[in-house]
Amino acid sequence: MLLDVTLSLLEGFGTTVELFALTLLLALPLGLIICFGSMSRFAPLRWIIKTVVWIVRGSPLLLQVLIIFYGPGLMFGLPLLPRFTAALLAFVINYACYFSEIYRGGIQSVSRGQYEAGQVLGMTKSQIFFKVTLLQVIKRIIPPMGNEWITLVKDTALVRVISVYEIIWMGESYIKKGLIWPLFYTMVFYLLFNGLLTVFFGWLEKKLDYFK
Amino acid sequence: MAILEVKHIEKNFGDTQVLSDISFSLEQGQALSIIGSSGSGKTTLLRCLNFLERPDGGNISVNGKVIFDAQDPATQSEAQIRKKRLHFGLVFQNFNLFPQYTALQNVTLARELMAKEHGGESKAQILEAGKALLKQMGLEDRAGHYPHQLSGGQQQRVAIARALAMRPDILCFDEPTSALDPELTGEVLRVIRELAVQKTTMIIVTHEMNFARDVSDQVIFMDGGVIVEQGDPQQVINHPREERTRQFLSRREG
């Protein structure tokens, strides 16, 4: 029985981890683009981006998953996206918006003097960004990023609303058979995975501790 | 011929005029001190010379060549400005060292990037030059330290070495000791004095009157965005002609 449950939970957990990893892979760079848009000197672009971020951050991710999965078909008669793809799309958009704000906070917390020091030394804008600011930004965004990654792991449970079989779905299926312990077992998976993330972020923080 | 000629510089922030008709010139190897109360426009003037602010009027010539003219947009493109600002070096009040780099890396970073872009010096040469500059600042044993491991005075000396590494024609100081304890002020002033002895062309915005008098060949007193008085340091600081200058100097002593 234990082996049976373990295998089935592992299968669900595979989906969870896949969604987690792909969301990060796509949302981290997309967030940076959104961030630059939200700081653009071109006001209309800035307002469009801010409105999108407001809508995405201001409404439940659950709702966004449902709309992206069912919306295109019901509104425009388009074929449904594969379930996992729809879930991934919703997650990427949602998390990219959150990341963009984290990036913005990090970038704006680097003092103006750092840019100016680079400028008077004849550096280009991109040299200043990559050689001077970036690492300082990374150092500053580690704590909020850690939070966000851990939240993402747990948010993956939402995709069950469009029947993507993630780990909780698998655990829950045993309730019908009168078993509660697989649910606790499910929790162990989350705790272990988030434990690993915590260790990783702690290590990263330490790694960048050599400068203030 | 003057190495630097500044003519009729104007600068406004919105409706407020912060610099009005600023003109002066500076000879090669001379030091110019700019004194005046806070808000008199002296820092803005330095920032205009380093193109951290764009003047709204007037022109700036280095070695007889106009490098900036408010009337001529051709002198104002981003690429042009980037090249021309290298005539000037700037040492900031709060150092603005790059925290993730060691003292030596702070000094060599920009020069390495420049060499990578245009060729020229090897990395080893730049490293040697950086070490020599730190030695000149009395910091050869601090090359591997990060800024947060250095005292304010040491940080400012690294910042001076960093500015010198780009070999500017004119080195500008924006109140270089204002963020320092009195104890640490001395070591920074000593280094600047040394540079004056070696005939480094410098513009120094400072509140240290004795220092300004000793080290400079010329002093400018600014108030309300205009130059009130300029001339020989002994004369401006010890025997000011203008009433406003007298007021400023006497209030400082009181």
pLDDT in tens, chain B (254 residues): 789 999 999 999 988 889 999 999 999 999 999 999 888 899 999 999 999 999 999 989 999 888 888 888 888 888 888 888 899 999 999 999 999 999 999 999 999 999 888 888 889 999 999 999 999 999 999 999 999 999 999 999 999 999 999 999 999 999 999 888 888 888 999 999 999 999 999 999 998 888 898 899 999 999 989 999 999 998 888 888 888 888 888 876 54
Distance from CA of A70 to the nearest CA of B (A): 49
Indicate the pairing of strand B226-231 with strand B65-69: unpaired
Radius of gyration of chain A (CA): 21
Domains annotated for chain B, with CATH where assigned, are: 2-97+168-253 (3.40.50.300)
The per-residue pLDDT for B252 is: 67
| Residue A109 contacts B where some CB pair is shorter than 8 Å | no
Distance from CA of B227 to the nearest CA of A (A): 25
The per-residue pLDDT for B45 is: 93
Residue pLDDT, tens place only, B11-30: 999 888 899 999 999 999 99
Residue in A closest to B110 by C-alpha: A121
| Residue A119 contacts B where some CB pair is shorter than 8 Å | yes
Q: Do A117 and B96 touch (CB under 8 A)?
A: yes
Query: Which 3 state secondary structure label does DSSP give B240?
Result: coil
Best of B77, B83, B93, B113 to substitute, by most chain A Cβ atoms within 10 angstroms, is B113
Residue pLDDT, tens place only, A19-71: 999 999 999 999 999 999 999 889 999 999 999 999 999 999 999 999 999 99
The per-residue pLDDT for B253 is: 57
Contacts of residue A145, defined as CB under 8 A and 6 or more positions apart, other chains included, come to A99, A102, A201
Q: Do B148 and A212 touch (CB under 8 A)?
A: yes
A202 in a domain, yes or no? yes
Best of B100, B107, B126, B160 to substitute, by most chain A Cβ atoms within 10 angstroms, is B100
DSSP at B17: E
Dihedral of alpha carbons B47, B50, B51, B52, sign: negative
Smallest CA-to-CA distance from B87 within B62, B116, B118, B52 is with B62
Total domains present in chain A: 1
pTM: 0.86
Query: What is the edge-to-edge ordering of all strands in the sheet holding B88-91?
Result: B88-91, B170-174, B202-205, B31-35, B218-223, B226-231
Q: Which residues of chain A are modeled with pLDDT < 50?
A: none
Residue in B closest to A113 by C-alpha: B96
The dihedrals phi and psi of B226, each to the nearest 5 degrees, come to -125, 160
Instruction: Give the closest of B85, B97, B99 to A122, CB-based.
Output: B85
The per-residue pLDDT for A176 is: 87
CA distance B54 to B72: 12
Give the total residue count for chain A.
212
The per-residue pLDDT for B254 is: 44
How many beta carbons lie within 10 A of that of residue A170, not counting itself? 23
Query: Which 3 state secondary structure label does DSSP give B202?
Result: strand
Instruction: Give the Cα-Cα-Cα angle B205, B206, B211 (nearest 5 degrees).
Output: 125
Contacts of residue B21, defined as CB under 8 A and 6 or more positions apart, other chains included, come to B8, B9, B10, B58, B226
């500059």: which residue's tokens?
B133
Asked if residue B174 lies in contact with residue B99, where contact means CB atoms within 8 angstroms, the answer is no
A212 in a domain, yes or no? no
A137 in a domain, yes or no? yes
Instruction: Give the closest of B88, B96, B163 to A116, CB-based.
Output: B96
């002895």: which residue's tokens?
B197
CA distance A99 to B82: 32
- Locate B16 and state its tokens: 């407020």
Instruction: Give the closest of A114, A120, A139 to B90, CB-based.
Output: A120
A128: domain CATH number is 1.10.3720.10
- Locate A31 and state its tokens: 């967030």
Instruction: Give the closest of A118, A120, A123 to B50, CB-based.
Output: A120
Whole domain around residue A100: which residue ranges?
2-157+164-207
